[in-house]
Amino acid sequence: MKSKDREHLKNLSVDELKVQGREIEKQRFQIKFKRSSSPIENPLQIRTARRKAAVIKTLLRAKELAAAKTAAEVKK
C-alpha cells in the first residue's frame, strides 16, 4: 500500500473506516470465491486486499484507544 493511501485512510473518520473495511472484506470474499471456481487474472489482489484490511483494522484500533485515553483524561 502506498503511503498516500495510508495517509488518506488516517484522515477518515471511524465510520468511514468501518465502511471501507466492510468493502475490502467483501472484495476479498469475491476474489477468493472467483479463485475457487477459476484462475484469477491477478493473484496479488488477494494479498493487497488482505493488507489494506489489516491497515484499516489497525487504524480503527488506534482511534479507539485514543478515544478511550481522552475519555479517561476527561474523567480525572
pLDDT value for 1: 67
Separation of alpha carbons 76 and 69, rounded Å: 11
Q: Which of 73, 60, 71, 61 is nearest to 19 (CA)?
A: 60
Q: Which of 29, 28, 5 is nearest to 17 (CA)?
A: 5
Which spans in 1-76 are helix H?
A: 3-10, 14-37, 44-75
Residue 56 pLDDT more than 90? Answer: yes
Q: Which of 19, 41, 22 is nearest to 31 (CA)?
A: 41
pLDDT in tens, 8-51: 888 999 999 999 999 999 999 999 999 888 888 888 999 999 99
User: What is the pTM for the complete model shown?
Assistant: 0.84
